[in-house]
Every structure is written in structure tokens, then in C-alpha cells.
Structure 1
Amino acid sequence: MSRILLTSLFLSMLYFSSEAQNTFNKQYYFDGIAAIGNGVHVTDSCYYISGLVVDTIADGVYDGLMFGKLDLEGNLQEYSLHLDSLSDYENWNTPLLFNDNAFTSVGFGKDSFTYLYWLRLDNNGEKIDEKKYRSPFSPDDWFIHPYGVEYSSLDKRYYIVSDVGYYLPSGVLNGEFSVLCLDSMGNKLWDETYGNSWMDTPLSLISLSDSTIVIGTSLSNYNLTFLNKIYQTQLVAIDTSGQVQWTWTSTSQIQQGANDILIEEDGDLIVASAGGFLEYVNAATRIMLWDRGLIFKLNENRETEWECEFTEPGATFENRLTKIIKAADNSGYIAAGQMRVWLNEDDASLLGWLVKVSPEGDSLWSRRLFYYEQPDSIEYEHHIHDLQATPDGGYFMSGYTLDRAAGATPPRQRAWFIKVDSEGCLIPGCGLVDTESPNEEGPALLIYPNPADQYLNIYLGDNSGQEWTFLVLDGVGRQLGRYEAPLGQTTYMVPVGNYPAGGYYLQVVDELGKRLKTYSWVKG
């Protein structure tokens, strides 16, 4: 490169007040082969985390439970692994409860049979107690997979909802859900199974009151037909003995289910879901494509008061809002999940996703997160499994990233922990960036932090549909990395931890290959 055009960034784009909310993007694999983040617990001094780590023991590879602690900057302080060569510990999509001065994790494993486990841990991750429970269809069970757990401080009981299933005489898989009730010591009090010949998949669980538990499910006939498929959201309320009190089923037949439920003080329910459409495959087959996020509100009479759809620019599918919480300042609701977007004719990536809806059901903002592990690759998946508000008004999320590209640096799958500010921004001020068509210098963007340590975060505000490329250059203009940026209103996280300390440049290139604006940044 013969010439570099240097452009000064406004001071507010590079440096922020010490009073600004802390943000971070961290990935850990805990010395394993692969790792994911699941349930979290936020305090005013640290973040407790849980997840799943795949590692080797003796001559085999096993799934183990991870429990750890991050400081408020996202740095890993300590962690412990619970690995067993005789069985697995898998806690996919389950929360981390803190009750009675200890933590509770639930999940599933397998030895000679599939089982559900209940595990109590102290603040250092040391095991206090553990119990295992068979599927209600044992010993002929096909699977049991817990999706939610609630603890009632009034009657000192745990309620755990699980996906269970078996094959009908016709050979068709029948998915039902079970609720297991335990006392405070993990002793089984009762379990009940619910469902019919359709697939009743449990997705969430909340306490509606001291005497009512609500299970959110997806109700579908996809196990019975390839053509006229129906997908509905279903809520099932039970009392503390497991008896059904009421059910509610969506009138829409293209709804993903109750991925998460939030209850308001007045009894109203806020549900995170998704909408979609049936796509033609051939004369005998249709598939469901989830092309929009969906949040809706039910009043205390279970009447729909409002619905809010999030439709994103570009062709999207496999969208899913997995968690929903109340905004830290009571200004609405925050939901997190992921969406799959076609980036070109051949490649699609699953992006991290964070949205906000007002108390009246209006869409306020939508943020997308795209992590890069290596240059010239866009074959990534970003999953968000848990979301909690933080004391400073921001939000903490956990999940994982997966690099599917050939030649990816192991481990390909890493636990992912993200802290954003009250506006859902990893880069403070992202909501103020111009989203209009770019000028001759290129699109509006922010880079942060500067100086950077492990990651250089880049927020691209352009919403014109153009595709951009970021070039990372050293101090004399030599190209060190090339990163495609096909989506606007997205934060791109570029790893720079292996670069020596010093001055670097980030240059924007348009889809015709023209080099535009150049930004200076420092590796600390």
C-alpha cells in the first residue's frame, strides 16, 4: 500500500467517561476440547457462571459441568469442573439458581440409562449434594432433558420441567413433558407427565404465584406430518400437587413457543417467542422457517394485549428470542437470542441478538453481535442462553460461539460472556451512530476500546444493505487481517490479542474494492 489516509476520530468515539457503564466480550474454554456458557447469577461484586465443558478423562471424552466466577470486567477469577468417567453432566439451556445460600444446577447425563441430575454447589463450586432421577418412562426411556427449574421459598420445593419421550406403537416419536417436584434436600415428592400425540416440548418454567407453576411449551404436529405442520405456543398452569389448573394455546399456528416467560406484579405475562412461515420443499414436504422475533403480552385473563415482531434487514431464518427480562430502569423489556442470516449465496451465520420493546409493545432497538476468530471466514454460530440485568443498569449474557470454517483454531466451540450497557451496546454510544446511506468516506462506525487488548470491537451503523470489508493494517500499511462485514447495525468483534503492542489502522473497503476511510487504533 503506497499511501494511507489518516482520519481523526472524535474524542467521544474513542474515550468515554469513567462513569460510563463497563462492557466486555470474553471467551473461555476452561482447558477443554469445547465449552458453552449456560446459567448465570449476577451480584454487585462478580458474575457467577455455569456451563458445559467437553474434556478427556482416562481413555474417553466426557461432558462435565463448569462452575466459575468472573470479575466485573469479565476476567476469569476461578472455576471448577465436575467430570466423571462413568457418566456425563450436561446442563444445556438450564438456569443457575441461587437459593438458601448455595447454587443449584440441573441437567442430564447418561450411564446405562439417561437420567436427570440435581446438583448443589457452594460459592466456590464445591459439591454439597447430588441426586439422580430416571425418566418417568424408564427403563424404556428414550431421553430426558431438563429445560427449567424453579425454587419455591415458601414451601421449600424445587420444580423441574423436562422434555421426555417415547415411541408410539406406530413407530412415531411422541414428545411429552414431565414436572419433577423435589423437597429442599432433593428428595422426590412427585412427578407428572403431560401431553398428547403431538410434540409437547417444554421451553420455560415460572412461578405464577405461591401455588401455581406455569410451563411454557411448543405444541406441534411435525411428528405426524411433513406437509400441514402446525406450531403453537402453549402455557400449562399446574398447582403444587401437579394438577392442571388451566391451559392457553395461541391462535396463531406459526408460532415457535414460549421460549421464556416473564411475570409482572399484576399477573400479566410477557412471552419471548418467534414467528415464521412454512417453506415449500416439494409436493409432500414443508419446513418451518423462523424469520422474525416475537414478544407478546397476555393480561391476567390471558388475553393478548399486544404483539411486537422484530423483522431484520436481509433474509433471516432460524430466529429465536430465548430469554426475556424487565429493563433495569423499568422502561420496557429486554430479550436475547440469535438469528441466522444469509450473508451471501452460499454462507449463513447465526448471530447473537438483543432487542428491546416498550411497555406498550413498541420496538425500541435491535442489536446484533458477530464474533470473528480468524480472517476471511464468516461461518460462525453465536448462541445466547442466559440474560440478567446488572447493578449498573447494563446486561450480562452467556452462551457460546462456534467456528465452522475449515482450518479453525481449536477449540472451535467456546463459552461466550458479554456485558453491554443499558442501550444494549457493547460499544458505548452505538445507538447514536448514523444508520443512513454512507457518504464518500464510507459508513459511520465506532471502534472500542482504544487502546485495545484482546478484541477490537467495531460497530457498523450503515443500514443501506451494502457489504463492507475491514482491513487491519500495521503501522506501515501492511495488511494483517481481512474481515467481511456484510451487515449494518452490527457489532463485529475482531481478535487482536496476538498483535504486538503499538499503533495500527483499520481501513474500510466498499463492495467494489475501493479503499475508503482509515481509523487509527492502539494495541496496548
Structure 2
Amino acid sequence: MKKNHLGEKVLVIGIILLVVGTGTFPSTGQSTQSKEMQGTFRDSPLPVEWNRTYPRPLGNSGGNCIQVTPDGGSVIAGFAGWGAWYSFYLLKVDPQGNEQWNRTFESGYTQANWVEVTNDNGYIITGKGCKWIEEEQEWVADIWVIKTDVNGYEEWNWTRLTLYPDYGTCVKQISDGGYIINDIANSNNNYNFSLLKLDAFGTLLWEKTYENKWGFSLVITPDDGFIISGLSEQALLLMKTDENGTMEWEQEFFHDIWPDCRGNDVHVTPDGGYIVGGSTSTYSTSDLLLLKTNESGVEQWHQTYGFSGTDWGTSVALLDNGDYILGGTHLGLQGVAPDRFWLIRTNCNGNVIWSQFYLPLYDARCYCIQQTLDDSVIASGAIDVSTGATCVILKLRNQTGNQPPYAPSNPNPSDGVTDVEVNTTLSWIDSDPNPQDVLAYDVYFGMNSTPPKLVSNQSDWTFDPGTLQYSTTYYWRIVVWDDPGASTVGPLWSFTTGGEENHPPNIPSSPSPADGYLGASIDVNLIWTGDDPDPGDTVTYDVYFGLENPPDIIHHNQTAMSYNPGTLEYSTMYYWRIVAWDLFGHTAVGPVWTFTTIQAPNQPPATPAITGPAEGKPNTAYIYTITGTDPDNADVVSAYVIWGDDTITDWTEFHASGESFTLTHSWAEKGEYLVRVKIKDNHGAESNWTILDVIMPRNLERINPFLLWFFERFNHAFPSLHHLFWYKNPIFSYL
């Protein structure tokens, strides 16, 4: 089978018939059936309203498919890249062809073949992806499907790994929100195609495969089935399936006339039949083709259009009056004559009304053509194909009379938005299919769904409604007029203003302990004052607390204006801060406050120790060592000593806790003496007494221990007995 792939350039040596000056070309095809011409036809081509090219900073681009978008603009799918690396290319333009955005999706040597506008105003794209097959050590083409939002950002994509090349040629969204995709494959030189059903989220639900056929174009029929045009055993294929992909019938055309014939585009006609645009091919020439069938795929007529050489038919548009516009390319001789961007308008029987090469200054090809919202035609393709490629779009002007303006779009505030400022300004975007028309606007605005007209005949795209009410829904509409008097009523939009202006919470204040306070309890509660200037606002607090400045957060989202940090350390400086939040996310950050806790409470010293001789001789000096300790290690201690002989060592100098120091004492007379010692710390707290029994040798009767206790306990009682025993025992002299 001869494979005349779209996009290949065939070199033809021959004479190219050009009608110099007019740029128009006659039909060379013949009708198989003679039909009476219908409708009103022109004998001159539609003039160009505008054409735009979209060069890439690096590499090439082309528009394989174009679709009209609800805003009157267009979306184009194709390729962008250079060398052996190409990407899916998605381009959005406004009604005047000005680029609004473009997106690329990379997967090796890839290109997008088809794009459709989806129910959510996003886009579904299919084409050829590319995967590296490790076993084969080569790149293999695989079908790739991408769903985007209205701004062209990917929402999901679907592909699958096969060991043979396959790619998507067409995709349509069906009534359940899912998608049907035409996927052609070539496995070991056996070609086939499949219908793939994906759900709305890109999950494959079913697949039906048809052997020895390629499907290039797909449309949904009135019974929710599918009609596919393509190629079958070198014949043009037209095949009908039900909604589940089960074949109902197929027809093959022209296999006995041309060795290669294919249907590249198909549409349902108003009579329930089908119109197919495509190409015929011999071994040296090819022509553009139109084929018309009835609802069962039985041919009613066909027409071919071409010159000696190579001509491709790639796309057909069905106009509202029953005419057809066939788009294609007349291939020139490389280096001798350029390729030609060719459009042919016919009546409902395929008879030529006009034929025109457009973009005469370029080496250009036409890949896709569509009818626009203003009943004109827009086409996409590429220019400078022989030296690279640049995406091009051509818009023709409808000369049937004045067209009404496009509906206003892009409202600001956006439709349905909430929390709008009460001092907002309304704005919108609009244009007219007749560029020379001057537009004026009526503004309808109010608080119900039938807003009154506030302004007439203004030229600006903005309107200031003044200060609005809080928490109120407003409705608005724009009616646009052109100067010939045609008008378009825009959609009804709405928005809701926000509540009264929210203020941030009050800055936390009045800290307790006060900022810089000294002597705070180690069990202190942190207390502050907060609140919010907006009645009804709930305020929560984050507590920051610690030993460093700034402190770390230790508790958040509490409603109480107090916090217990637990038992703190004595004599320690702490840092703290409060951050207040309201329900609207506004904050008030308090200052960093400090306080210092009290010193630890003083404890009295322990009972001191005294060591030294317990016996001795009168009038001899003896050294005694005293050791005093204090549980508060930072404290110092002083000693008080009663020697038992009417002498006292008053408070000594202070010594460190645990430090031993010495005192010297002598007794003048023989006897038994009780030495009593106590200590105090630098805070004045005193210890218990320590007693050391010291004997200066003498023949004295030892006092009864009971009497000793008695006189110690009752120091001032019984003075006569006290005197008597003191006289005999000077040990009582200390009492």
C-alpha cells in the first residue's frame, strides 16, 4: 500500500498551472451526480480579515487543529520544538487573533493532532506521545491524551505503553462527560485503529479495535453513535458504530479508481448524511476530494479538485447555508515554487463557487478549517515549511452584512465571586467581528436578577457603581451596541460583597507580672488583656514563653487570657509574648515582656560541729575547730560560743558554708564546763546549739544529770538551790 502521510513533502517535476494575478484556481474534478445548485453563492473569494503568525523563540510550530471557543476566539493544537524533540502545543487567541497564552507538553518527539472545547470550557487534546523502549533501544510513538482547564493547565493525562507505534487522531466529548478517541496503530506493518472510551477523569472504560483500517476523523451522530472516516486497504473508509463502538456498517470508496484514497475529515450534514473531505492519490499526483453520502454511507456524489502535481485535502467546514469550504495544500517544487495554503468554497453539490491560494507571500500549508461564530471561516496551518515551520492562523471576513458584536466577557468581579470590596469598579472585555465598528455599552446593575439600566451608550469597558452595601449580592449585565445598530445582550453576572471591614485584634497589653517585674512567684500565672475592636469577633491567643529572647511558642489557639507555665526556677528571668488572632486571620503581635522570679527562701544553718580537747589544765590555751554548714550553699555563717566560764565569743566573722575555722580558749579554774556553740547565716537565721563537755581536772563531785537538765530547763527558778549548786559547780555559771 502506498502511504501518503500528511505532512510529507512530495517532489513533483512538472508544470504548475497558476492563474497569475488573481490567485484563483479552477476545479478539475467532475461530479458523479448532477445536482441543482442551492443557496446564494459568490464568484469571488472571501477577503482576509486578519492573519497572524506565532513564531517560537526556539524551533518550529504548527497548528494541526483549530476550534472556535465560546468567547469568539480560537484554540489551536499542534506541535512546537526543534530537531528530534517536539512537544504538544496549545495556543489560545482572542477574536482578533491576538495570543492570550500558549502551553507546551513535552514527551519526546510528539505533536497534538486534535483539540476540543469541553463542557467546563477546558480542553481535551490527543495526538502522538513518545516513549523510550529499552528492549528495542528506540523511541516509540504512543497515544497521548491531555485534559486541561480553561487556561490550558493540565488536569490529567492518559497514555499507555505499547510495543508498536500508535497515536490519537481525533477526540470528542460525549454526553456522559467522558471521551471517545480515535487511535491508529501500525504493528509489524499491519495497520489498524481503535475506538477508546475514557471517563471524565481519564480512566479507560473500553476499547474496540478494527483491523486493516485507519480512522482519521470522528464525529458523534444524532443517535449517539460514531461516524469515522479514514483509510481501508487503499480505499477511502466510512464506518458507522453504535455508542459502544460496535460496527453497524462500513463503506469503502474509490479503490478501483485511485490506488490510495483517504477521508481526512467528516461531518454530519443537515439531511442526516455525511460529507467527507480528503485526498485521492495516484503514483504521481494527488487531488483534494469531497464525498457526499446518505445516512447509510451510500455515495450521492463526489468531486475532486487539483492540478498536475500533489494536492492534499485536510479539512472541510460545513457552512450554515449548506455550502462547504475545503481546506488543503498545493505542494510546490522544493526550491522552485512554494507550497500554497488552499481554500475552496463549493455549493451543496460540490461545485466550485471560488478557489483561492491565501498567504501568497509564504510557503504555507492549511491543516484545519472551521466556521466561526460570525458565520465566517478560520483556518490554521504552518508557513515556511520547507525551512522549518511557524504556526499561522487565517481569518476570513464574512461579507453577508454587519455582524453583531461579540458578547461581553471576562467580568471583573468574576461571576459568582464573594467577599468583594464595597468600593469595587466593574469591568469587562468586548470586541466586534467587524473591526471597523464602534461599540457602546448599556450597564444594568442592581440587587435583583433583573437589574435596572443605570448607564446608556458609554464607550468605556468600566463602570463605578459607587460605594456598595456590605454582605449584599449584586447582579449586572452589559448590552453592547455597534454603530450600525446591532446589539448583543451579555450574560447575567453576580457577585457578593464582603462583610464590614474587619480590624485586627487589639494588641495584647497589661501584662501580669508587669514588664520587668522582680520577685515574681515561681508559681505565677501569666495574665494579659486582649479583645477585638469588631463586636462578635472571636479572638484566640498564641503564648510564647522561655528563657531566651525572642521566646518560642509553647501554646496556641487558646481563648483564655491567662496561662500557667508551671513551676518556674528561682531567681530566673523569663521572656514572654502574646499574639492575638481573629477569625479572619488578622493578627496583633504583642511586645516581649520580662519578669524575674523571687530568690529561693532562706533556710537556717545546720547544727554546727565543734572539735577540740575535752580535758585539760587551767590557764592553758586550747584550740577548738568549728564547722558550720548551710543548706543554701551561697550563704555564709558566723559562730557564737559560750565557754561555760562566764566568757563569750560574740559572733565571729563570716565563713563560707562548710569551711572550718578555729577559736582559742583557756579556763582559769579547774572544773567541768559545758561549751555551747551556735551559728547564723548572713540572713540572720540561727542554728540549734551544739554542746561540748570540757573538764579541767579537780576533785569535784559530778552533778546529777537530772539536776543539770532541771536547772537548764528552769533557769531562774529556785535561786537558793541554784546558788548552792553553782557554788559547788561553776559549770552552772552560764545559766
Amino acid at match of 1:47: S
1:165 to 159, 164, 186: 186
2:171 is aligned with 1:149: yes
8 Å CA contact retained: 2:367, 2:380: yes
1:396 to 362, 378, 403: 378
Distance 1:212-1:391 versus aligned 2 partners, 3 A rule: closer
2:125 aligns with 105
SS in 2 for 1:48: strand
CA–CA separation in structure 2 for the residues paired with 1:422 and 1:192 = 42
1:242 aligns with 245
TM-score (norm 2): 0.44
2:211 is aligned with 1:176: no
- 1:278-325, Cα deviation, whole Å (9 max, x unpaired): xxxxxxxxx2521x222121012322222222234xx332x1211111
1:34 to 49, 57, 60: 60
- 1:410-453, Cα deviation, whole Å (9 max, x unpaired): xx3111111112479xxxxxxxxxxxxxxxxxxxxxxxx9xxxx
Amino acid at match of 1:146: G
| 1:92 shift after superposition | 4.1
1:289 aligns with 285
2:341 is aligned with 1:352: yes
Instruction: Within 5 Å, give how 1:259-408 maps onto structure 2.
Output: 259-277=264-282, 287=283, 289-290=285-286, 292-312=287-307, 315-317=308-310, 319-327=311-319, 329-342=320-333, 347-372=336-361, 380=363, 382-404=364-386
CA–CA separation in structure 2 for the residues paired with 1:55 and 1:22 = 30
Distance 1:383-1:264 versus aligned 2 partners, 3 A rule: same
| 1:131 shift after superposition | 1.9
| 1:186 shift after superposition | 1.1
2:96 is aligned with 1:73: yes
CA–CA separation in structure 1 for the residues paired with 2:399 and 2:142 = 41
8 Å CA contact retained: 1:260, 1:322: yes
| 1:22 shift after superposition | 6.7
Distance 1:119-1:191 versus aligned 2 partners, 3 A rule: same
Amino acid at match of 2:250: T
Amino acid at match of 2:148: L
CA–CA separation in structure 2 for the residues paired with 1:244 and 1:389 = 30
- 1:325-358, Cα deviation, whole Å (9 max, x unpaired): 112x414111111122459xx7343211111111
- 1:475-524, Cα deviation, whole Å (9 max, x unpaired): xxxxxxxxxxxxxxxxxxxxxxxxxxxxxxxxxxxxxxxxxxxxxxxxxx
8 Å CA contact retained: 1:316, 1:342: no
1:127 aligns with 154
Amino acid at match of 1:93: N
1:13 aligns with none
SS in 2 for 1:404: helix
| 1:269 shift after superposition | 0.5
8 Å CA contact retained: 1:144, 1:164: yes
SS in 2 for 1:23: strand
CA–CA separation in structure 2 for the residues paired with 1:316 and 1:260 = 22
Distance 1:274-1:67 versus aligned 2 partners, 3 A rule: closer
| 1:403 shift after superposition | 4.5
Amino acid at match of 1:216: S
Of structures 1 and 2, the larger Rg is shown by 2
| 1:212 shift after superposition | 1.6
1:417 aligns with 393
8 Å CA contact retained: 2:110, 2:130: no
Distance 1:110-1:93 versus aligned 2 partners, 3 A rule: closer
Amino acid at match of 1:260: D
SS in 2 for 1:259: strand
8 Å CA contact retained: 2:72, 2:372: no
8 Å CA contact retained: 2:149, 2:155: yes
CA–CA separation in structure 2 for the residues paired with 1:391 and 1:323 = 18
| 1:108 shift after superposition | 2.1
2:214 aligns with 201
* Structure with more relative contact order (C-alpha pairs < 8 Å, separation 6 or more): 1
1:284 aligns with none
Structure number having the greater strand percentage: 1
Count of residue correspondences: 346
CA–CA separation in structure 2 for the residues paired with 1:347 and 1:22 = 26
2:235 is aligned with 1:232: yes
CA–CA separation in structure 2 for the residues paired with 1:123 and 1:383 = 28
1:495 aligns with none
Distance 1:364-1:423 versus aligned 2 partners, 3 A rule: farther
CA–CA separation in structure 2 for the residues paired with 1:102 and 1:165 = 31
Q: Identity over aligned residues, as a percent?
A: 23
1:510 aligns with none
- 1:89-148, Cα deviation, whole Å (9 max, x unpaired): 7334323333333111112212224422221111211111222223xxx3xx22012111
CA–CA separation in structure 2 for the residues paired with 1:38 and 1:96 = 12
CA–CA separation in structure 2 for the residues paired with 1:213 and 1:385 = 23
Distance 1:303-1:45 versus aligned 2 partners, 3 A rule: closer
CA–CA separation in structure 1 for the residues paired with 2:237 and 2:339 = 26
CA RMSD between the two structures: 2.7
CA–CA separation in structure 2 for the residues paired with 1:361 and 1:423 = 21
Provide structure 2 residue ranges, at least 5 long, that are not aligned to the other structure.
1-45, 134-140, 401-434, 436-735
1:465 aligns with none
Amino acid at match of 2:265: D
Distance 1:95-1:417 versus aligned 2 partners, 3 A rule: same
Instruction: Within 5 Å, give how 1:466-505 maps onto structure 2.
Output: none
8 Å CA contact retained: 2:164, 2:187: yes
TM-score (norm 1): 0.61
2:405 aligns with none
